Amino acid sequence: MAAPVSSVGKPSAQRLPFNNTSFQKKTRSKLISIPGTRPSVQNGQLLVSTGVTSLDYLLGGGLAVGTVLLIEDDRYDSYSRMILKYFLAEGVVCRHELFVAAAQDNPDDILQELPAPILDDVAIHKPMEQPRLSCEPQDSLEAMKIAWRYQHLPKVQSALASSSRFGHYYDVSKTMEPEIRQAAKCHRFYLPEHPAQSSPTHSTMLESYSALLKSLQEVINREGFDVAAPMSNSRNILRIGLHSLGSALWGDDLCCHDNPRNGHALTTFLYGLRALLRSSLSVAVLTVPSHLIQDRALMGSITRLCDNAIALESFKGSERETNPLYKDYHGLLHVRQVPHLNCLASKLPDHKDLAFKLKRKQFSIERLHLPPDLSETVSRVSRGELAGASTVASACGSGTSGNKHLDF
Amino acid sequence: MFTELNSILNTTPDTFTQGEFVLLSDRQSDASFLIHHFLSLYLRARCKVWFLGLVQSFNHYSAINQRLGVSLTQAKEKGQLVFLEGLNESLSVLIPQKAETGSPAMDFLRDPAVGLKSLYEFVRSSVTGSGAADGAEEWGPPVLLVDDLSVLLSLGVSVGAVLDFSHYCRATVCSELQGNVVMLARCDGDGEEDEEDDEGSERLLKGLTHQCSLLLHVQGLPTGYCRDIHGQVEVCWRRRQADGQYTQKKLFQYKVHDKGASFFAPGTSSAVL
């Protein structure tokens, strides 16, 4: 192999490794090995799925690892909670680790309500084939049998291979089976279980937030999610779900007063959270009851400290619920902010008229458009009503030309 | 570095006005793409650059400037760029550890009421102390970039303290050392509605506008969202001359691309024509 110095062999031998390297450059093999992730088409960032396929599409393929998705609650906190559960369920199916923090409900309650995955082609992990802890004593024996070059590959890979695909479908009418749920490693932070410490924390951040930040940092350091940590083969993603941040139960008075005393507590926390996430393999979704926050400027600075921000506006309890224009939908979805991470131009959505609906089994986000006028008599009546909502109708009228459903 | 913006501002890496205080501001839009323009411009102009990156990690700036053709890591190794990564430094303050680490520059996180004296001290000592280093490469005039000031408000610093900080920086870098200062300030209000409501970021923007010599103000399109035009930028020169001060304003629309941005007169987007 090394001997031939012929004039033909030499350039080809040079070209071959060059071709190899240029071909492999984009794949980033070390990152791809994490199940349930994929690199972004635009800037090569590692993405994870939110669990809602249409939301992934809206966010430009998925959530980039190291970023925060802010969801502004709808009025009754039912749909934002659903997205949070989707996000956690996707983590369970992909075997990511979870971190759930809440002040109102026990994190265990949230975990019990996770929607059931529709795993048609995926082998569900039976409790007996949990390879992580149980079969450690046998490892030394097995190590003799397999070829040496496969030794450092994670054992779980074969079991996970089928469910490592990006994004799954869920059936919200059923809850996830306990054995699937318990296979995932989950860290909980329930505020009432954390007694107030009288530690000399610094003044702008509330004790609840600094306790949360501290426990997050502990988990990240202990479980090796830190990017700076020595590379091991079993890298994993930490999914952080923070429920109803900024509500009064967290000890925050953002929602209760016009001039909150702790006006900078949440923003300072978000700054710390961003600092933590940017240096670790983790991704966070947090919900904030923004309709309770009077100060728009404060909400703006909260949004700016998150990377993605969407707002849900449900029709429940509003007159729009009965408006024929919206009869197909359960609420509107506003994209407040798209991420600008590691790239100048971010992927902007094609249009901003978006609505969400909760079908019997599935939550989906669609482009808002007018329902078809099927019967003539009914349409007269509904036209009259639509004229009242002329601003919305005109906004939708421009969008009806090239309709495409968001979900596919 | 966006060449179109350079021709609008009449600057090149070889010829640029010294002693300028450039303010980048936005309202319900995102002006952060402009900070990358100035960062790569001054690095190409062989200035010595101090960058206070408070909102993003170093990797973010590095990845973008790589696309613009400037390597931040190399500039850092050569000593041309001094980068303060606010996110990294803040963690040790926000999550108190046993041993006190962290740079004193972020001391304001511990107690925002103290103000930004420590941050200014960091800037001043490193800017004025840099001339003494011998044997190193010679760099041009010093440049200070801040991304961004309004996050300081979110962290609890008062508007007055931020304005003091910017004024001190301007006095040191622009006047004393004939360098340039570029600062980004973001604002969310509607501007018209809450005039009497003297709200923080609005007040900061007014104060900074008063101080600056060149203002680039980014806004969304008044007609609403458009996929092909990302917004409009108002360029405002404020020059002091013998016969008093004169201001000149120009309005451009812009679109941000993967590797730069294009600026054009209103209504002349290639998507419309």
- For B140-193, the pLDDT digits (tens) are 899 999 998 999 998 989 999 999 999 999 999 999 999 999 999 998 766 555
The string of DSSP codes covering A265-319 is HHHHHHHHHHHHHHTBSEEEEEEE-GGG---HHHHHHHHHTSSEEEEEEE-TTSG
Question: pLDDT tier at B102 (50, 70, 90 boundaries)?
Answer: low
Residues of B in contact with A275 (CB under 8 A): 87-88, 90-91, 94
Question: For all residues of chain B together, what is the average pLDDT?
Answer: 87
A251, exposed or middle or buried, with CB in 10 Å at 0-12, 13-18, 19+?
middle
* Domain assignment present for B180: yes
- For A221-261, the pLDDT digits (tens) are 888 888 876 666 678 899 999 999 988 888 888 888 777 77
Q: A203–B113: do the CB atoms touch at under 8 Å?
A: yes
Q: A276–B91: do the CB atoms touch at under 8 Å?
A: yes
Q: A348–B67: do the CB atoms touch at under 8 Å?
A: no
Going A220 to A226 to A230 to A236, the CA torsion angle's sign is positive
Q: B256–A345: do the CB atoms touch at under 8 Å?
A: yes
Tell me what pLDDT residue A26 has. Answer: 47
> In chain A, what percentage of residues exceed pLDDT 90?
26
> In chain A, what percentage of residues exceed pLDDT 70?
68
Nearest residue on chain B to A215, judged by CA atoms?
B95
Tell me what pLDDT residue B208 has. Answer: 94
Do β-strands B244-257 and B231-241 pair in parallel, antiparallel, or remain unpaired? Answer: antiparallel
Residues of A within an 8 Å Cβ radius of B: 43, 199-205, 210, 213-214, 217, 263-264, 267-268, 271-272, 274-276, 278-279, 296-297, 300-301, 304-305, 340-345, 348, 350-352
- A152 or A173, higher pLDDT: A173
Structural domains counted in chain B: 1
Angstrom CA distances, A305 to A69, B61, B106, B139, B225, stand at 10, 17, 18, 35, 22
In the numeric block, which tokens belong to residue A347?
Answer: 């992927």
Q: B94–A301: do the CB atoms touch at under 8 Å?
A: no
Residues of A in contact with B257 (CB under 8 A): 344-345
- For A84-137, the pLDDT digits (tens) are 999 999 999 888 999 999 998 899 999 998 999 887 654 444 444 444 444 444
Nearest residue on chain A to B202, judged by CA atoms?
A297
* Predicted ipTM > 0.90: yes
Q: Of all residues in chain B, what percent are helix, strand and coil, respectively (each to 5)?
A: 40, 25, 35
- Closest Cα of chain A to B87: distance in Å? 5
Which of B33, B199, B225 lies at the smallest CB-CB distance from A344? B33
* Domain assignment present for B232: no
Question: For all residues of chain A together, what is the average pLDDT?
Answer: 75
Q: What are phi and psi of A37, to 5 degrees?
A: -130, 160
What would the CATH number be for the domain defined by A32-398?
3.40.50.300
Tell me what pLDDT residue A76 has. Answer: 86
* Domain assignment present for B123: yes
- For A253-285, the pLDDT digits (tens) are 888 877 777 778 899 999 999 999 998 999 999
Question: pLDDT tier at A151 (50, 70, 90 boundaries)?
Answer: low
* Domain assignment present for B269: no
Q: Is the peptide bond before A139 cis (omega within 30 degrees of 0)?
A: no
Give the structural domain span for B109: 9-130+137-189+198-225
Q: A301–B109: do the CB atoms touch at under 8 Å?
A: no
Residues A315/A325, Cβ–Cβ less than 8 Å: no
Tell me what pLDDT residue B4 has. Answer: 92
Which of B57, B109, B258 lies at the smallest CB-CB distance from A278? B57
- Closest Cα of chain A to B61: distance in Å? 7
Q: B227–A352: do the CB atoms touch at under 8 Å?
A: no
Q: What is the CATH number of the domain that holds B90?
A: 3.40.50.300
* Domain assignment present for B157: yes
Mean pLDDT value of segment B43-66? 92
Q: A345–B87: do the CB atoms touch at under 8 Å?
A: no
Residues B116/B165, Cβ–Cβ less than 8 Å: yes
Tell me what pLDDT residue B136 has. Answer: 61
Tell me what pLDDT residue B191 has. Answer: 56
